[in-house]
Structure 1
Amino acid sequence: MLNLSMTLMLMGVTSAVEAANVKMKRGVYIRGSKVGFRVVMLGIVAFLALFFREDPYVQGLMAFLLVLVAAEMLIPYERMVIQIRNGTHRESYEELVRVLREAGYGYEVETDRFDNAVYRIPSLGKAQIIVKEKEAYIREAFSDRTEVVAVSTGYGNPLNEVMETYIHRMREKRADRSFTRTIQVFLGVAAIFAILAGLFFFQAWQSPWEYPNQRIDELFD
């Protein structure tokens, strides 16, 4: 019960964060990056340390996750996933090409096995930008959603600066667009998960026979 409630709470927080990103960042935001990976891994370690720290197997798992985070910080590899909502696929392509040309980077375009456009930048080593056309399930003024994945290698790769410019430009294009429906849907989902998480947490609190539910009272002593 407790594990289920914590999972539902995490899903609710994720949905609320998505709504906040849409609101504050005009529908253009980074969903996946090295920083996000570290936060998730450290959050898992904190959860395990709070409820299962006496289990030797869990202690080994926590040590492995911490080593994984440390190793990830040293690997010269970056994968940035950008979500672009309430727009058209065409404007995503056009603005990306414009930003690359203004930065003075030549590129080669090809299609991968999933029919996604891949922009390879020879002057930046193995750097590439993958543009994935998605359909928006929440309808706003525009029905398209685009996912842009920027992959770079090496320390201090300038591709990140190019993508920051791209994000800024795409937000400017959405300065007068409404995201009300998208925000309402994400907040509604977050509220449902929060209510369910509260109900399961209450049930866990009342069931001291289930491990690790007997420790709940200890957290509030």
Structure 2
Amino acid sequence: MLNNIKVIAFDADDTLWVNETYFREAEHQFAKLLSKYETENKIDQELFKKEIENLRLYGYGIKGFVLSMIESALELSNYQIPQKSIEAILDIGKDMLEKPIELLDGVEEVLQALQNKFKLIVATKGDLLDQERKLEKSNLSKYFHHIEVMSDKKVKDYQKLIQHLDIEPSQLLMIGNSLKSDVLPLIKVGATAVHVPFHTTWAHEEVSIDEFSKKAYYTLANIKDVLQLV
């Protein structure tokens, strides 16, 4: 049991609701659009490289993803891609932004059980407008004290969050699906982390971890198991 926790932070995408699945579907649609220019595997590789290259400019989220798709389409087609195809790429992005919110199993049950015992917050990366929209559509806003949309989730970002919350690092529990973003930085700042894996992970979030790190956080098969920790 964790007895010192005051604040529980939840990642949003693929922790509270489905997200990465829609990116995989969009990548497949994009590859079909460009199939006359390259193989799907090559298109996927080039799009990923473009996304990583653009992170410093666009940050995380669907809008940056759409801009990276457009840039990749222009380059892969040697700037021959028809205007209609550019319009189709924009439509892929709009469709992603309008997806219904599909909560993951056990999420609301956990939030209901914890809301009167701890300060609950959302700590997520991504586009502010999009994340606020998803939170509103999810009907989960009532459980959270506030939402933190972070430009990144590195040690310095969590240190800033802890300072803003006016708590000790040991009083923060972070729950998320990404080892890179939601777990390993928390270990380094002295907070507690819970890893709830999602079946699909963006390549940029994949990391290899040593045996020491594995002992420093909790891994749960379902978010409902958090209730046994706190």
TM-score, normalising length from structure 1? 0.25
* Structure with the larger RCO, 1 or 2 (CA within 8 Å, 6+ apart): 1
More strand by share: 1
- In our comparison, the structure showing a higher alpha carbon Rg is 1
TM-score, normalising length from structure 2? 0.24
